[in-house]
Amino acid sequence: MSVPKAVRQRAGVLHKELHEHNYRYYVLDEPVISDAEYDRLLRELLDLEVHYPELITPDSPSQRVGAAPLKAFGEVRHEVRMLSLDNAFSDEELGEFDRRIRERLEVDAVDYAAEPKLDGLAVSLLYEDAVLTRAATRGDGVTGEDITANVRTIASIPLRLTGRGIPAILEVRGEVYISHRGFERLNRQAMSSGQKPFVNPRNAAAGSLRQLDPKVTAARPLEFYCYGVGRVAGGVLPDRHSDILARLRKWHLRVYEGIGRVHGLAGCMAYYRKLEKTRTALPFEIDGVVFKVDRLDQQEILGFVARAPRWAIARKFPAQEEQTRVTGIDVQVGRTGALTPVARLDPVFVGGVTVTNATLHNEDEVHRKDVRVGDTVIIRRAGDVIPEVVSVIRKKRPKGARVFHLPKQCPVCGSAVERIEGEAVARCSGGLFCPAQRREAIKHFASRRAMDIDGLGDKLVEQLVEKGLIQDVSDLYQLEVEEIAGLERMARKSATNLVEALEKSEATTLERFIYALGIREVGEATARVLAEEFGELEPLMNADVETLQAVRDVGPVVAQHITGFFSEPHNREVIQRLRRAGLHWETVEPAGPRPLAGKTFVLTGTLSMPRSELKARLQAAGARVSGSVSKKTDYVVAGADPGSKYDKAQALGIEILDEAACLKLLK
């Protein structure tokens, strides 16, 4: 059905008016119509779109209410990396930052853009021909999650930009957050409906953005401020960061009014002191101030280091501290088996949240601070960092308070607790058996480089554990199609495919199986060496520390990890069940020539083959592949767009090979 011209024109007028009212309400905070009048205009547009679906466009104000639920988030690769920021925790560190900037630029003083550091979630917004077409989380800085459907529901993010000179492609970066008022309202709603309140605004914002149902996101009080740009094409922006933000504001993007341009270190200090005094009056949570070199040409000269720009820094506010009492000390077992003492506390409000427990890190830290049950202590919390016990007020210690000692057996599974000499962390040795480590042990066992069980993803593992279908990895091979098909989002075909993948994985190699066991610090390379040296599993299981240390690349710590793992009866029982289930491999023949033995390689940049494949080939030839460049590095293999490792190799005079030269060396 074609849309009458008059209807299309009316829809266009409604689009324009609603976008303008959104901008005035959410960005300028200067509404010119009542909420009822706004609702009337929106209802009129919705009625038109119901009768004429052809009118629905990505930038329609109607898209704020949320689309159909998603099955999963897609992946977005950032064309311009979303970098992290280095932190300064004192005036001296900020001064050092300014000194480095001035020395590198060879100037007496620098202009900085100064802005509050919102405690929210970084996102990227892509506008094409002024229309919002994609939104993504920061992720790891290179790859993020596609959250377009959810971001469309945030009223302070324009679906279409307005103004002159907008580039054909404009990537805007900013922070999604929840204000103090919005957070209080959200928690009141949660408690009134019998739900658990959110811990803090940042977690609430992050969780809201990652809802698979955009209608849930639409119901959350999310807001947005932009702080910069990424990719720009088909247009020109100003040559100063502060001027770019002013230009974004003219295009109806929301930019914090208090952003300023300051001169030199003194200007930075003054801005920081002012914001530190007034932060509690702000309508949102901030944990510091971000200073950026304002001139883009100077930013380009300064460049980047690792994952952070040299031209920017976050001056963090001091941690917030309060006083409370320790009511108990529990021991938690983490997913890697690490035992962490946790102080249970009388509830205390600190850093914007109510704190009832705090980490004590490890046994040495408990003894160093001499924390005991009944002690009055100082608690510190900064940003979203886990609260910690800073110190004990010994004058308030009750009589008979006992010294804490870590248990000798795991409080979850009863396996022996292992603590290697020189290490601060103690760990449960029941890696294959301990319920606290169960999920991670199964995920690692099934991973592509271990048993390579196709179709056994993280979410399915979670379901299998929650339903009690698997207690350890050996139970995987007892699963039946009917059990799996009864799980959420699993059809009979998928269940059949998984059972077949499990059967296929029974025929494996010794090195894969050793790696799949998840022994601490036994990676693929060490597993390969162990397989080559021992040829079968039984001799490895029975080897003592002295025998293991005689194996190349196995030091005293790794040797202790291996013997500790195999000396735990629970782990041996699981291995026996796996063998009875049908897992098998061929005996490994002694290793052949190793022409690159003793040589250390570092890989950087984008290669034509997966980096893991080249790493495996180098290791098979006897080479060691390291993650960092040092004086002991023999070769750096550089692909396209190499990073800081390339620069360091040049500075140290290390030989740099391209991929072709590396492959030639392997031959």
For the chain, which residues make up each domain, given as ranges?
5-65, 87-316, 321-396, 435-581, 600-666
Catalytic hit among 117, 292, 443, 645? 117
Q: May I ask the CATH class of domain 435-581?
A: mainly alpha
Which is higher by pLDDT, 551 or 614?
Answer: 614
Average pLDDT, rounded, for the chain: 87
Cα maximum dimension of the chain: 88
* Contact call for residues 396 and 376 (beta carbons, < 8 A): yes
CATH fold group of domain 600-666? Rossmann fold (3.40.50)
pLDDT for 249-281, tens place per residue? 999 999 998 899 999 999 999 999 999 888 878
pLDDT at 482 > cutoff 60 = yes
Residue 162: its pLDDT value, please?
A: 92
Model confidence band, residue 623 (pLDDT cutoffs 50, 70, 90)? confident
H or E element, residue 111: strand 111-118
In this structure, the strands spanning 655-657 and 635-638 are: parallel
Query: Distance between CA 356 and CA 322 in Å, rounded?
Result: 12
In the structure encoding, which two tokens stand for residue 393, read together? Answer: 């007020």
State the pLDDT at residue 233. Answer: 94
Question: Which segment of 401-410, 467-476, 499-508, 590-599 scores lowest on mean pLDDT?
Answer: 590-599
State mean pLDDT over 393-407: 90
Tell me the two tokens of residue 195: 């739900």
For the cut 80, the answer to whether the pLDDT of residue 107 exceeds it is yes
CATH architecture of 87-316: 2-Layer Sandwich (3.30)
CATH class of 5-65: mainly alpha
Element (H, E) at 149: helix 148-151
pTM score, whole prediction: 0.50
- 71 vs 459: CA distance, rounded Å: 13
When mean pLDDT is compared over 31-45, 349-363, 573-587, the highest value belongs to 573-587
Confidence of residue 384 (pLDDT cuts 50, 70, 90): low
pLDDT for 491 equals 86
Q: What is the mean pLDDT of residues 161-183?
A: 93
Q: To the nearest whole percent, how much of the chain has pLDDT over 90? A: 41
Confidence of residue 83 (pLDDT cuts 50, 70, 90): confident
- Dihedral (Cα; 188, 183, 317, 388), 10-degree rounding: 50
Contact 132, 152 (CB under 8 A): yes
pLDDT given at position 28:
61
Q: Closest by alpha carbon to 119, among 351, 315, 290, 285? A: 285
Residue 151 main-chain phi, psi, to 5 deg: -65, -30
Residue 657 phi, psi (nearest 5): -110, 145
3-state secondary structure of 490: coil
Task: Provide the terminal-to-terminal Cα distance of the chain, rounded to the nearest Å.
Answer: 67
Instruction: Name the strand (E) or helix (H) holding 593.
Output: none
Cα–Cα distances (Å) from 209 to 63, 68, 197, 342, in that order, read 16, 15, 17, 30
Per-residue pLDDT, 211: 83
What average pLDDT score do residues 174-195 get?
87
Could you confirm whether 443 is annotated as catalytic? no
What pLDDT, on a 0 to 100 scale, did the predictor assign at position 223? 94
Residue percentage of the chain with pLDDT more than 70: 94
Residue 380's nearest CA partner among 404, 403, 397, 359 is 359
Q: Whole-angstrom Cα distance, residue 41 to residue 56?
A: 15
Over residues 387-392, the mean pLDDT reads 87
* Mean local confidence (pLDDT), 606-620: 83
pLDDT for the residue numbered 520: 84
Among 125-134, 182-191, 201-210, 316-325, top mean pLDDT goes to 125-134
pLDDT class of 98 with cuts at 50, 70, 90: very high
Task: Give the homologous superfamily in CATH for domain 321-396.
Answer: Nucleic acid-binding proteins (2.40.50.140)
Q: Please say if the pLDDT value at position 304 is more than 90.
A: no
CA distance 418 to 429: 6
Nearest 5°: the CA angle 639, 642, 644 is 150
What per-residue confidence (pLDDT) applies to 566? 93
